[in-house]
């Protein structure tokens, strides 16, 4: 150890070698035993130590202590605030989950209500169709419908046929009345119609 190193250690650690680093204590004692003039360095360090020992620091005020502790990180006040914030966050998350659950339930109820309305409408439509089928004629229930005035063409054809029949009968009657001979007297006040079997005709038949 050099005298300069001894001065540096005395200024930093004071005159008591027991406060010095253990790695420096043996070398300092050997240097002091070899050079007695270095004792003055320790004497100056001792005077400085005495002056520093006279300085006393008053204990802090209780109010100051509470203020410092309250403002320190991790203080009880901060812990309460953090706990309150955590509780508020949990409550907010719980409300959000409840709102989402209510919205989901409302959406499911709305879908069920729509499905029920559609089913009711379909059932009503089926019932109405069944009533219409029961109220229709037998021919209309099989899927096809007769025209509303389907009998008009048939009636017209039947009327034309009937008129033709009447006209034909009248024509035949007229023709027969024109061709038939006049009736001859029977002598007893009666008449009969001349036919192929009268007297002249019989003579003609006998001649043949």
Burial (CB count <10 Å: 0-12, 13-18, 19+), residue 202 = exposed
The reported pLDDT for the residue numbered 9 is: 92
The reported pLDDT for the residue numbered 76 is: 57
Structure pTM? Answer: 0.30
Count other C-beta atoms under 10 Å from residue 41's C-beta.
Answer: 18
* Closest C-alpha among 11, 3, 1 to residue 38: 3
Spell out the per-residue pLDDT of the chain, length 208, in tens.
899 999 999 999 999 999 999 999 999 999 988 888 889 999 999 999 999 888 887 787 888 888 887 776 665 556 667 777 888 888 888 888 888 888 888 888 888 888 989 998 998 888 888 888 777 665 555 555 555 555 556 665 566 667 667 666 676 667 666 655 555 554 444 444 454 445 444 444 444 4
The reported pLDDT for the residue numbered 201 is: 46
The reported pLDDT for the residue numbered 45 is: 92
Q: Is the distance from CB of 20 to CB of 13 less than 8 angstroms?
A: yes
The reported pLDDT for the residue numbered 22 is: 92
């Amino acid at each position: 150890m050099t005298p300069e190193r001894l001065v540096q250690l005395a200024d930093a650690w004071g005159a008591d070698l027991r406060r010095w680093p253990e790695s420096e204590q043996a070398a300092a004692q050997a240097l002091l035993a070899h050079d007695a003039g270095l004792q003055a360095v320790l004497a100056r360090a001792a005077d400085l130590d005495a002056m520093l020992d006279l300085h006393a620091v008053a204990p802090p005020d209780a109010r100051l202590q509470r203020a410092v502790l309250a403002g320190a990180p991790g203080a009880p006040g901060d812990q309460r605030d953090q706990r309150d914030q955590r509780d508020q966050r949990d409550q907010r998350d719980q409300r959000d989950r409840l709102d989402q659950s209510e919205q989901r339930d409302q959406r499911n109820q709305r879908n069920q209500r729509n499905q029920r309305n559609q089913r009711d409408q379909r059932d009503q439509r089926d019932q109405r169709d069944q009533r219409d089928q029961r109220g229709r004629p037998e021919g209309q229930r099989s899927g096809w419908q007769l025209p509303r005035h389907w009998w008009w063409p048939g009636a017209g054809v039947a009327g034309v046929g009937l008129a033709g029949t009447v006209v034909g009968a009248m024509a035949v009657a007229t023709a027969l009345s024109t061709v038939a001979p006049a009736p001859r007297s029977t002598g007893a006040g009666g008449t009969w119609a001349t036919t192929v079997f009268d007297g002249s005709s019989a003579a003609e038949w006998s001649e043949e």
